[in-house]
Structure 1
Amino acid sequence: MSLNLAWNNEQQDKEITEPMIAMLEQLLNLAGEAEGVADGEVALTFVDDEQIHELNRDYRGIDRPTDVLSFAMNETVDEELDIIYELDEDEEMEEMPDVLGDIIISVPRTILQSEEYGHSFERELGFLFVHGFLHLLGYDHQDETSEAEMMGKQEAVLAQAGLTR
């Protein structure tokens, strides 16, 4: 197995191109390698500000748009049962990917922030994606120490991919 990116574009503000997706797949593998995560699937959805505002309000209780949201799937109880299904005699069992979680990125926020910070859309997109991925793995930035650790990890991955400021 390996790390896989499944993506969906639900916004109309900017075209998401194949080279952008290839860059995100590279970042996923670099971040996964840095964190010792070799297998799994990340679902990425590109949305507009209205959609991310609704998600932020409904799931986090914060009534405003944001740039990226992450919903980790590894926050489960050990006692949960595995999903079992029957196969016909001629079918082979396919291994189900370990779904790490969902990352939702607001494309209008990505555009705005790239302009505000004076770097490319791709650099900001990569930053938000790696940020979201680290959240899926349990990283947070609630205090200065954890924020510094998370920022260091993000910048190291982005530098490996050539996405510097």
Structure 2
Amino acid sequence: MEHLIRVTAEVPLENEEEVRALITRCALGALEREQVDFAAFVDVTIVDDENIRALNAEYREKDAVTDVLSFPMYEFLNGAPQEDLEPDPESDRVMLGDMILNYERARQQAAEFGHSAARECGFLTVHSVLHLLGFDHERDETDRALMRGEEEAILAALGLTRESV
């Protein structure tokens, strides 16, 4: 399947090409694991604390810095579409939604958790793509366990386990 992951950095990054490649690889890995059998499109924007705080306040009514935000275009439930999906006429792909990643926060959390920025950035990317596909760790304990299991399986397949980086 010809998926498109568009990554735009609104903040300067020392290793921008590396970060963009990592995000793309992780998003594609999540779509493959979840067997997305249609051409999908995900738009990723890398921002800083200030920008993500403003978006979090505006869209979630939480005036706080966060690590990643997901804005799905369609209703899914644990990977299954709950409505008809229509490809965008220009790209001929289904727009799954937008992901806003706070790379600054990802680096801080990586240091706190004792693993690499790549592992944390990969985790946040996979986490967000799963949200776009209707997985929700806040729905109930069963869904939380399902989402966590999918995250770990995808990251392991990508070689981004906690132990390896």
Secondary structure of residue in 2 paired with 1:74? coil
Matches within 5 A, 1:60-75: 60-75=60-75
In the TM superposition, structure 1's runs of 4+ consecutive aligned residues that sit over 3 Å from their partners are 75-79, 81-84
Which residue of the partner structure matches residue 156 of structure 1? 153
Q: Which runs of 5+ in 1 are unaligned?
A: 85-93
Which residue of the partner structure matches residue 130 of structure 1? 126
Aligned length: 155
Aligned-pair CA distance for 1:83 = 7.8
Render the CA deviation track for 1:6-57: whole Å, top value 9, x for unaligned: 0110123x33432332222222222112111142111000000110001001
The answer (yes or no) to whether the contact 2:23–2:125 under 8 Å persists in 1 is yes
Which residue of the partner structure matches residue 53 of structure 1? 53
Bigger radius of gyration: 1
The answer (yes or no) to whether the contact 1:9–1:16 under 8 Å persists in 2 is no
The 1:82–1:54 alpha-carbon spacing in structure 2 relative to 1, beyond 3 Å, is: same
Q: Which runs of 5+ in 2 are unaligned?
A: 77-81
**Partner amino acid for 2:99?**
I
TM-score, L = length of structure 1: 0.84
Name the CA distance, whole Å, in 2 between partners of 1:123 and 1:20.
11
The 1:17–1:74 alpha-carbon spacing in structure 2 relative to 1, beyond 3 Å, is: same
**Partner amino acid for 2:151?**
Q
Instruction: Report the aligned-residue RMSD.
Output: 2.5
Render the CA deviation track for 1:51-100: whole Å, top value 9, x for unaligned: 00010010011111111000011149969x9988xxxxxxxxx6532111
Render the CA deviation track for 1:119-163: whole Å, top value 9, x for unaligned: 000100000000000000011111322222111101111111111
The 1:99–1:163 alpha-carbon spacing in structure 2 relative to 1, beyond 3 Å, is: same
Is it true that 1:141 corresponds to 2:137 in the alignment? yes
